[in-house]
């Protein structure tokens, strides 16, 4: 596609600057025709775009085309309206300045279409955020609404704009369209009440009738047929096949909802539109006095209802006029003609002001409430110049004078005034001033101007009236008091109070122009010149004459000549320097001298040849586009390097900043941490000092009464002692060991020791059986008897007493036998038990029954108590001799028994326990006496020796030798 496009562009030249015969109008037209025949409707003259209306869809406004032109250098692609839009946009973004695109051309040449294409281009290609989409939609949808109210069908253009329009599109710093502002200039109000043959009123009337819902029409008192309305049918083309009013109504209704119109707004708005239609149908009749009267008030009632006025008040205002005479107000009736004038004036006034209200309303929905700095691209679609047979209006200031002149002013007097003032001007002619030849072509009421664009004849009929644009005060008062919300805003009571004459159309136009100039002067311009190829709106038809005519009055040849002869490009020094300063080290990044000198230095550095440029007072002029393109290319190239450098510098800067930040943070952290550590250390040392001090004090005051200084020390001592004691607690009752306490803990230690012993004893006692207990009691008695008295006692402690111990060997008959063998008649009392009691003592030890032993002893006990047991003797040495002393009751009875006993301690203890006699046991040292029977008494000598023995010595004395201790 692109390739094909490029190939087709070879048809003719795409920039008139490249035309060889650039002074020839024919060559110019030829080039246009050639390209037009190939559907190439756009051609450049330098940066100006010439656009031919193709009157057909060419498929050159697609999304892919928009993408193609986005961000591309102006001359790199074939000429296009998108290239103009993109160029302005990119310049605005890069230079952050304001731009406007001026679109001019005759009516029907394609200005409105071009501005719509530009708007769409921005809407599609500019960056967008979700929140700003609504602003974009409103910008786009404001167009159909404005067109419905401000466009109309004319013979030249089915959708002719009947008002001047300037639209600002506002962009934020990122190039996002964020809002807009529209200025409407001088809507053609006269169209509301009158249309020439082949023309229509504004579209909205027809759209409402064709598309409005039945209920809405009924509410407004309207019928669908536009022919029924005088204001819609004068041009005899109310139903135009090329226009689809029904569909357009839908578009407009939808747009209303997006641009924040409320239901009340719409009711008021269509109330006004319907009122205008009803007004047109109000008919007047002349009464007998020649005054105007309304025979049928049907329409009046509808208007009164829709605008909220009393019908009688409205009726009076349409047929009467208030005249202020000194202090009085006089109401006088109007003639039929003046009533018609008043009616039409009212229709024009309410439509005209409603249109202004509409523009303001749209503006308030487009306003961007963020007040950050915006850059704008303005779109100026200026009125199409129309060359009619009769031109009814010319904006000449001189006219104004005639309107406000005292005395009767007529159209003829105006013409005379013109002749008087500008009659001598070469471009002005009237019938009177024309020569005999020209006179035939010009009427009495006409004058002719020789415009740059061509000759135009103007008719002065109705001139003053149109210029006056007067709405009778009476009607104004009525409208100021009406209930319709929109009209209440449009007609303010303050206006009535002002005695100033309202500005004429001419003055309004003049004012608009000067304010427009002010808006434009601060912006960078781009131009689009639209050309209409034929009058019949036919595609592919190229009317040489018509085109030539437009080329002429659009000044295109002139423009081309200037381009070729002069300098293709001119730029203020500041802007040029600002853009290209990066190309020269002296001007980059800042030039501090005058901008002109900076530019000089810059172009010298980049090597401009003298013939390529000229330096003016404030601007540089570059002769050839190629010079500028080369500079631009160099700039593009340097941009990348610059970007890299800026990026590197910026990154470096960021890096350094980050480094410094981190370093500072690290230093802070370090300092803080050190502080924390130091404080901790100080605290620790302080604590240590205190502890040491207390310990020292503790040592010093160890033997003094307790003082706070010793406390720590004591705590430690206590703690240590207690902890140590854990491991040295005695394990049993016999263990008498105990950890030596420090002096301060002696009392505590004693207590603990007692507790411990008690505990061990309790534990021990719990574990002691009855038998064991009994034995222990016996052992206690043993202790009483023998402790410290008899050798071997300590060793005996470990030997338990056993109830079953007594056997034949226990009370050993050995001694007895020893005695009897020696024929010593020692009698040993034999204890015998029979059931009849203690009867006999036999010389026999008959204790065979172990169990009987105790029993026998028990029995013996009683007997011995009664009878003869006097005591028991043992030696203090380590022998087993036991002598039981008995005092015989008679001579027959034997006395003491001498026994040798293995377990002497046990036996003696048990005996003592049985007998219960105090001091029963006698532990003797050296020897003991015994008595068996008279004459048989003797001594037992106890001795120690290396060997145990018992023997009788020569004297018959019994000697008992016990082993040295340790041997047993």
Strands, DSSP E only, in 80-158? 99-105, 151-152
Give whichever of 188 and 600 is closer to ligand ATP, judged by the CB atom. 188
Residues 88-107 close enough to bind ligand ATP by CB under 6 A: 105, 107
Please state, in angstroms and rounded to a whole number, the distance separating the CA atoms of residues 872 and 874.
7
One of 43, 157, 468, 909 touching ligand ATP (CB under 6 A): 157
Known binding residue 440? Answer is no
107 is in an annotated binding site: yes
Given its phi and psi angles, is residue 403 left (phi above 0), alpha (psi -120 to 50 degrees) or beta? alpha
Encode 353-362: b = buried (16+ Cβ within 10 Å), e = exposed.
bbbebbbebb
Residue from 14, 65, 112, 878 in contact with ligand ATP (CB under 6 A): 112
For the bound state, the minimum distance from the C-beta of residue 161 to ligand ATP, rounded and expressed in Å, comes to 3
Confirm or reject binding of residue 387 to ligand ATP (CB under 6 A).
Answer: no
The b/e string for 237-270 (b: 16+ C-beta within 10 A; e otherwise) is bbeeeebebeebbebbbebbeebebeeebebbbb
- Specify the residue, 381 or 400, whose C-beta has the smaller distance to ligand ATP: 381
φ, ψ for residue 549 (rounded to 5)? Answer: -60, -45
Biggest CA–CA distance in the chain, Å, is 218
485 is in an annotated binding site: no
Angle between helices 625-700 and 708-726 (to 10 degrees): 80
Calpha distance 960→944 (Å, rounded): 8
Site string for ligand ATP, 20-59 (x = CB under 6 A): ---------------------------------xxxxx--
- The site string for ligand ATP over 811-850 (x = CB under 6 A, - otherwise) reads ----------------------------------------
Smallest separation (angstroms) from ligand ATP to the CB of 374? 27
Reduced to 3 states, what is the DSSP secondary structure of residue 541?
A: coil
What's the count of helices (H) and strands (E) in the chain, helices before strands?
35, 28
Position 710 contacts ligand ATP (CB under 6 A): no
Ramachandran bin of 377, using left for φ above 0, alpha for ψ from -120 to 50, beta for the remaining angles:
beta
| Shortest distance (Å) from residue 492 CB to ligand ATP | 31
Contact by Cβ (8 Å): 166, 512: no
**Is-contact 781 913, C-beta < 8 A?**
yes
Tokens read off for 228: 């029924």
Our finding on whether 110 is near ligand ATP (CB under 6 A) is yes
Q: 902-935 b/e with 16+ CB inside 10 Å = b?
A: ebbbbbbbbbbbbbebeebbebbeebbebbbbee
**In the complex, minimum distance from the CB of residue 160 to ligand ATP, in angstroms, rounded to a whole number:** 3
Of the candidate spans 159-167, 229-237, 292-300, 619-627, the one that interacts with ligand ATP by CB under 6 A turns out to be 159-167
Q: Which of 285-307 are b and which e, b meaning 16 or more Cβ less than 10 Å from the residue's Cβ?
A: eeeeeebbbbeeeebbebbbbbb
Question: Can you say how many angstroms the Cα of residue 319 is from the centroid of all Cα atoms in its chain?
Answer: 67
| Contact between 65 and ligand ATP per CB under 6 A | no
CA-based angle 850:856:857, to the nearest 5? 105
Contact 172, 129 (CB under 8 A): no
Distance of closest approach, residue 111 Cβ to ligand ATP, in angstroms: 3
Determine if 164 is a binding residue for ligand ATP (CB under 6 A). no
To the question of whether residue 683 is assigned a binding role by annotation, the answer is: no
161 lines the binding site for ligand ATP (CB under 6 A): yes
Kindly state the smallest distance separating residue 248's Cβ from ligand ATP, in Å: 12
- CB-wise, 315 or 530, nearer to ligand ATP? 530
Contact with ligand ATP (CB under 6 A): which of 164, 384, 595, 895? 384
Is residue 800 close enough to count as binding ligand ATP by CB under 6 A? no
Tell how strand 881-886 and strand 869-875 pair up. Answer: antiparallel
Name the minimum Å distance from CB 54 to ligand ATP. 5
**Interface with ligand ATP, residue 111, by CB under 6 A:** yes
Least distance (Å) between residue 252 CB and ligand ATP:
16
Question: Which of 12, 78, 79, 108 touches ligand ATP by CB under 6 A?
Answer: 108
Site string (486-525) toward ligand ATP, x via CB under 6 A: ----------------------------------------
Q: Least distance from C-beta 506 to ligand ATP, angstroms? A: 21
Q: State which of residues 160, 195, 460, 507 lies at the interface with ligand ATP (CB under 6 A).
A: 160
Structure-token match 């490029």, residue found = 6
Cα–Cα dist 628/350, whole Å: 53
- Token pair listed for 888: 């015989």
Q: How many residues bind ligand ATP (CB under 6 A)?
A: 20
CB of 534 to ligand ATP, least distance (A): 11
Q: Find the binding residues for ligand ATP in span 295-334 (CB under 6 A).
A: none
Is 109 a residue that touches ligand ATP (CB under 6 A)? yes
Q: Does residue 110 have a known ligand-binding role?
A: yes
The reply to whether 108 sits in an annotated binding site is yes
Sites of contact with ligand ATP (CB under 6 A)? 53-57, 105, 107-113, 157-161, 384, 530
Residues comprising the binding site for ATP?
105-112
């Amino acid at each position: 596609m692109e390739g094909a496009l490029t190939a087709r562009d070879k048809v003719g030249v795409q920039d008139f600057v490249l035309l060889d015969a650039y002074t020839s109008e024919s060559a110019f037209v030829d080039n246009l025709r050639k390209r037009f025949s190939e559907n190439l409707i756009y051609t450049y003259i330098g940066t100006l775009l010439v656009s031919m209306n193709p009157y057909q869809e060419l498929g050159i406004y697609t999304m892919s085309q928009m993408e193609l032109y986005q961000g591309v250098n102006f001359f790199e692609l074939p000429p296009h309206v998108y290239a103009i839009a993109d160029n302005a946009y990119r310049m605005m973004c890069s230079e952050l300045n304001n731009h406007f695109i001026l679109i001019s051309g005759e009516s029907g040449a394609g200005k409105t279409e071009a501005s719509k294409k530009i708007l769409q281009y921005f809407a599609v290609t500019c960056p967008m955020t979700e929140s700003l989409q609504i602003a974009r939609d409103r910008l786009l949808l404001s167009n159909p609404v404005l067109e419905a109210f401000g466009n109309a069908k004319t013979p030249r253009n089915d959708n002719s704009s009947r008002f001047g329009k300037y639209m600002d599109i506002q962009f934020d710093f990122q190039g996002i369209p964020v809002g807009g502002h529209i200025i409407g200039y001088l809507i053609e109000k006269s169209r509301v009440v009158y249309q020439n043959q082949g023309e229509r009123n504004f579209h909205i009337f027809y759209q409402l009738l064709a598309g409005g819902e039945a209920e809405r029409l009924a509410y407004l008192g309207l019928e669908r047929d536009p022919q029924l309305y005088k204001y819609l049918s004068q041009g005899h083309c109310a139903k135009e096949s090329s226009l689809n009013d029904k569909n357009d109504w839908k578009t407009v209704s939808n747009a209303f909802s997006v641009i924040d119109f409320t239901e009340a707004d719409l009711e008021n708005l269509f109330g006004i539109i319907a009122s205008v239609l009803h007004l047109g149908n109000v008919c007047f009749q002349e009464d007998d006095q020649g005054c105007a009267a309304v025979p049928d008030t049907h329409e009046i009632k509808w208007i009164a209802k829709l605008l909220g006025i009393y019908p009688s008040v409205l009726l009076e205002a349409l047929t009467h006029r208030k005249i202020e005479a000194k202090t009085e107000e006089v109401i006088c009736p109007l003639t039929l003609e003046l009533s018609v004038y008043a009616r039409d004036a009212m229709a024009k006034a309410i439509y005209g002001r409603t249109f202004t209200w509409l523009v303001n309303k749209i503006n308030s929905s487009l306003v961007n409430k963020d007040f950050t700095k915006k850059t704008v691209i303005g779109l100026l679609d200026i009125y199409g110049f129309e060359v009619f047979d009769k031109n009814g209006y010319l904006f000449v200031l001189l006219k104004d004078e005639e309107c406000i002149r005292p005395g009767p002013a007529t159209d003829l007097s105006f013409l005379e005034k013109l002749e008087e003032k500008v009659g001598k001007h070469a471009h002005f002619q009237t019938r009177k001033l024309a020569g005999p030849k020209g006179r035939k072509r010009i009427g009495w009421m006409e004058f002719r101007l020789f415009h740059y664009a061509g000759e135009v004849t103007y008719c002065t009929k109705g001139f003053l009236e149109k210029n006056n644009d007067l709405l009778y005060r009476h009607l104004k008062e009525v409208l100021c008091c009406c209930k319709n919300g929109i009209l209440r805003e449009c007609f303010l009571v303050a206006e009535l109070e002002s005695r100033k004459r309202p500005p004429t159309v001419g003055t309004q136009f003049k004012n608009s122009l000067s304010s427009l100039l002010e808006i434009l002067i601060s912006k960078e311009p781009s131009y689009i010149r639209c050309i209409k190829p034929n009058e019949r709106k036919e595609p592919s038809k190229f009317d040489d004459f018509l085109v030539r005519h437009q080329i002429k009055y659009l000044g295109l040849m002139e423009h081309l000549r200037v381009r070729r002869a002069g300098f293709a490009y001119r730029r203020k020094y500041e802007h040029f320097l600002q853009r290209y300063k990066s190309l020269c080290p002296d001007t980059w990044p800042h030039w501090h001298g005058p901008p002109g000198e900076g530019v000089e230095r810059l172009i010298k550095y980049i090597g401009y040849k003298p013939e390529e440029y000229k330096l003016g007072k404030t601007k540089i002029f570059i002769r050839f586009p190629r010079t500028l393109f080369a500079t631009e290319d160099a700039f593009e190239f340097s941009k990348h390097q610059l970007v890299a450098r800026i990026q590197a510098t910026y990154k470096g800067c960021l890096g350094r900043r980050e480094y410094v930040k981190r370093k500072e943070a690290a230093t802070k952290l370090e300092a803080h941490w050190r502080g924390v550590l130091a404080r901790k250390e100080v605290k620790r040392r302080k604590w240590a000092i205190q502890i040491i001090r207390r310990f020292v004090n503790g040592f010093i005051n160890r033997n003094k009464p307790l003082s706070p200084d010793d406390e720590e020390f004591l705590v430690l001592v206590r703690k240590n002692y207690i902890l140590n004691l854990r491991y040295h607690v005695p394990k049993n009752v016999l263990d008498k060991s105990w950890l030596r306490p420090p002096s301060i803990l002696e009392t505590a230690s004693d207590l603990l020791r007692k507790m411990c012993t008690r505990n061990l004893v309790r534990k021990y006692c719990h574990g002691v059986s009855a038998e064991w207990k009994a034995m222990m009691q016996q052992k206690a008695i043993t202790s009483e008897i023998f402790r410290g008295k008899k050798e071997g006692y300590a060793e005996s402690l470990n030997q338990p007493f056993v109830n079953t111990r007594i056997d034949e060997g226990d009370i050993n008959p050995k001694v007895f036998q020893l005695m009897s063998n020696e024929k010593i008649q020692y009698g040993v009392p034999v204890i015998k038990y029979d059931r009849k009691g203690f009867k006999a003592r036999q010389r026999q030890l008959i204790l065979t029954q172990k169990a009987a032993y105790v029993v026998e002893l028990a029995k013996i006990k009683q007997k011995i108590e009664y009878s003869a047991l006097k005591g028991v003797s043992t030696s203090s040495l380590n022998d087993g001799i036991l002598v039981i002393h008995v005092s015989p009751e008679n001579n027959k009875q034997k006395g003491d028994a001498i026994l040798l006993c293995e377990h002497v301690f046990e036996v003696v203890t048990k005996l003592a326990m049985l007998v219960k006699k105090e001091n029963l046991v006698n532990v003797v040292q050296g020897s003991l006496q015994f008595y068996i029977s008279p004459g048989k008494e003797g001594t037992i000598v106890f001795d120690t020796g290396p060997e145990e023995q018992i023997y009788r010595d020569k004297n018959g004395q019994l000697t008992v030798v016990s082993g040295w201790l340790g041997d047993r």
